[in-house]
């Protein structure tokens, strides 16, 4: 099928590359000319494992452009995958969605086109996009197009895996024809009939991928409800970990004991600094804002947000309690990206923690394996020094905080690094370091759970 993707960010680019790999002809359009140039040269503007490899395999069926007329007219399906960042009041900023929908509408071809919201958009956005397109093409009852929602569940860092081998695909539309078109598009994924790339074999246990085919509003709500649920699972274990700390219980054992109940599951039950990233914060805020629009409240979701921001503050409180004075001290931060295997810094806890430490008079030396260039461009502060290696970040530091659990940090020679530090405090923000080993190496070991 002929497909267009509007927006080549983490979602749009991954979707475009995967659909081209599956055999569709894909044209990706982005307003960012620099990004498009990079993509045309076969390089990815973002760090995402296997993305460039798959781009190379799919290159015959994959084009990039800044020009809508080159992308849209022949498309049977147009995916909108532009950003929907939060406004200060929590509502998503829909200006990119509006611009994308209008530009696509102005270039619609004569054949039937399905316009798909892949961006995470508030409930009702499908209808809004439909009205934007209708007024742009000045056809009130046109059957040249239909609108659908196809929320995205990929996780940065495993985006290709999640797209080729998803837990489920959700499609929503009030048009049967649109649903059928999307079913045909996704058939190779649903039936897992494509040849798996050698670098990303199909999981042995994977059978057919379930399809949830719903109406527009349900598909839109599924995305928000799923993200809010994951967010509150994280906040729940963080809340329980504070109680565990007070009563002398081992939260790791508690989490295991809870998670082995099949109704609960072990994932997202790791206590730590809390969630970051571009989605959970904005999507929980948007869900609360939608509830308010209907004179409802969402106290559970609100509590998850409150607990999450408390976790970040606790990092600084723990350091302060241990070191007494932060003024004039140097703190090393290991990890800047909001999670391992991505360079995404949106809502990254590390940046907020760095700012809080600097406000209290500390100097911060920070490292990340892939997000340093982005960080240098996005956050420059006089007392924030970006370091090219973890060893450099820990040099002469009074304390080190493991913020992002990149595997390479677990393999550091912690014993000899202790000698290069001025102090000996290590705060494991992700519960991944071995307390006994750290204490044996001479560290004063702190964690988010004790
Ligand atoms: N990043 C994730 O992990 C993730 C996961 C699931 C869902 N989502 C949702 O998907 C959407 C996109 O997220 P993202 O992280 O890929 O965003 P992003 O910021 O990485 O990418 C958005 C892209 O859209 C481009 N763009 C903006 N306006 C445009 C226009 N009018 N025409 C063409 N291109 C335009 C931008 O230049 C940018 O390249 C958001 O709604 C997000 O909530 C994201």
pLDDT (0 to 100) of residue 137: 87
pLDDT (0 to 100) of residue 449: 84
Q: What is the mean pLDDT of residues 111-125?
A: 96
* 346-379 confidence digits (pLDDT tens): 999 999 999 999 999 999 999 999 999 999 999 9
**Residue reference for tokens 């990092």:** 315
Atom of ligand 1 nearest to the CA of 45: 39
- Is it the case that residue 142 has pLDDT exceeding 80? no
Q: pTM, whole model, 2 decimals?
A: 0.95
| CA 84 – ligand 1 centroid, Å | 7
Q: What is the mean pLDDT of residues 413-431?
A: 97
- Look at the chain and count its residues: 450
% the chain with pLDDT above 70: 100
- If pLDDT is split at 50, 70 and 90, which confidence band does 90 have? confident
Which is catalytic among the residues 28, 279, 385, 387?
279
Average model confidence (pLDDT) for the chain? 96
| CA 137 – ligand 1 centroid, Å | 25
Q: How far apart are CA 377 and CA 348, in angstroms?
A: 15
Give ligand 1 pocket residues (Cβ under 6 A): 6-12, 29-32, 35, 81-84, 96, 99-100, 103, 119-120, 152, 154, 156, 278-279
| CA 201 – ligand 1 centroid, Å | 27
Closest of 339, 445, 345 to residue 401, by C-alpha: 445
Q: How far apart are CA 131 and CA 148, in angstroms?
A: 13
Closest C-alpha residue for ligand 1 atom 27 = 82
pLDDT (0 to 100) of residue 176: 96
pLDDT (0 to 100) of residue 139: 76
Q: How far apart are CA 95 and CA 88, in angstroms?
A: 14
Atom of ligand 1 nearest to the CA of 156: 3
| CA 181 – ligand 1 centroid, Å | 23
Atom of ligand 1 nearest to the CA of 11: 16
- If pLDDT is split at 50, 70 and 90, which confidence band does 19 have? very high
| CA 13 – ligand 1 centroid, Å | 9
| CA 55 – ligand 1 centroid, Å | 18
* 332-349 confidence digits (pLDDT tens): 999 999 999 999 999 999
Active-site annotation holds for 27: no
pLDDT (0 to 100) of residue 166: 98
Q: What is the mean pLDDT of residues 21-26?
A: 98
- Is it the case that residue 253 has pLDDT exceeding 90? yes
DSSP-derived secondary structure letter, 87: P
pLDDT (0 to 100) of residue 450: 75
Q: What is the mean pLDDT of residues 2-23?
A: 98
Torsion of CA 47, 381, 428, 402, to 10 degrees: 30
Closest C-alpha residue for ligand 1 atom 10 = 119
* 143-166 confidence digits (pLDDT tens): 899 999 999 999 999 999 999 999
Closest C-alpha residue for ligand 1 atom 25 = 7
Q: How far is CA 152 from the centre of its chain?
A: 10
Sorted by sequence, the CB contacts under 8 Å of residue 337 that are 6+ apart come out as 343, 344, 345, 348, 350, 368, 370, 371, 404
Q: Which domains does the chain have, with CATH numbers?
A: 2-214 (3.40.50.720), 224-305 (1.10.1040.10), 314-447 (3.40.50.720)
| CA 318 – ligand 1 centroid, Å | 36
Closest C-alpha residue for ligand 1 atom 15 = 10
């Amino acid at each position: 099928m002929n497909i267009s993707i509007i927006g080549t960010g983490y979602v749009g680019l991954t979707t475009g590359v995967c659909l081209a790999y599956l055999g569709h002809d894909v044209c990706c359009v982005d307003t960012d000319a620099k990004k498009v140039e990079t993509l045309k040269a076969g390089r990815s503007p973002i760090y995402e494992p296997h993305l460039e490899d798959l781009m190379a395999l799919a290159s015959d069926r994959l084009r990039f452009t800044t020009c809508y007329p080159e992308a849209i007219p022949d498309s049977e399906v147009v995916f909108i995958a532009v950003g929907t960042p939060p406004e200060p009041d929590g509502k998503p900023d829909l200006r990119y969605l509006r611009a994308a929908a209008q530009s696509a509408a102005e270039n619609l071809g004569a054949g039937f086109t399905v316009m798909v919201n892949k961006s995470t958009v508030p409930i009702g956005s499908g209808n809004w996009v439909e009205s934007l397109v209708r007024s742009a093409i000045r056809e009130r009852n046109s059957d040249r197009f239909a609108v659908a929602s196809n929320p995205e569940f990929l996780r940065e860092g495993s985006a290709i895996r999640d797209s080729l081998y998803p837990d489920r695909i959700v499609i929503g539309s009030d048009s049967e024809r649109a649903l059928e078109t999307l079913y045909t598009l996704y058939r190779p994924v649903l039936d897992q009939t494509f040849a798996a790339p050698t670098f990303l074999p199909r999981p042995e246990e994977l059978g057919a991928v379930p399809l949830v085919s719903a109406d527009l509003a349900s598909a839109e709500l599924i995305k928000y409800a799923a993200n809010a649920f994951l967010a509150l699972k994280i906040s729940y274990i963080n809340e329980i970990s504070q109680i565990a700390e007070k009563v002398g219980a081992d939260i790791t054992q508690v989490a295991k004991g809870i998670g082995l109940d099949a109704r609960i599951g072990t994932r997202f039950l790791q206590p730590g600094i809390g969630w970051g990233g571009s989605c959970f914060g904005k999507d929980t805020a948007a869900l609360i804002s939608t509830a308010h629009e209907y004179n409802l409240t969402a106290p559970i979701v609100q509590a998850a947000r409150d607990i999450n921001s408390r976790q970040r503050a606790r990092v600084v409180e723990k350091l302060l309690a241990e070191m007494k004075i932060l003024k004039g001290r140097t703190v090393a931060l290991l990890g800047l990206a909001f999670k391992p295997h991505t360079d995404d810094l949106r809502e990254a806890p590390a940046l907020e923690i760095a700012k809080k430490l600097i406000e209290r008079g500390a100097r911060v030396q920070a490292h990340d394996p892939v997000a340093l260039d982005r960080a240098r461009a996005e956050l420059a502060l006089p007392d924030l020094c970006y370091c090219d290696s973890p060893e450099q970040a820990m040099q002469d530091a009074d304390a080190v905080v493991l913020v992002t659990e990149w595997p390479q940090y677990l393999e550091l020679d912690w014993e000899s690094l202790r000698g290069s530090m001025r102090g000996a405090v290590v705060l494991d923000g992700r519960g991944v370091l071995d307390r006994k080993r750290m204490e044996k190496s001479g560290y004063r070991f702190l964690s988010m759970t004790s």
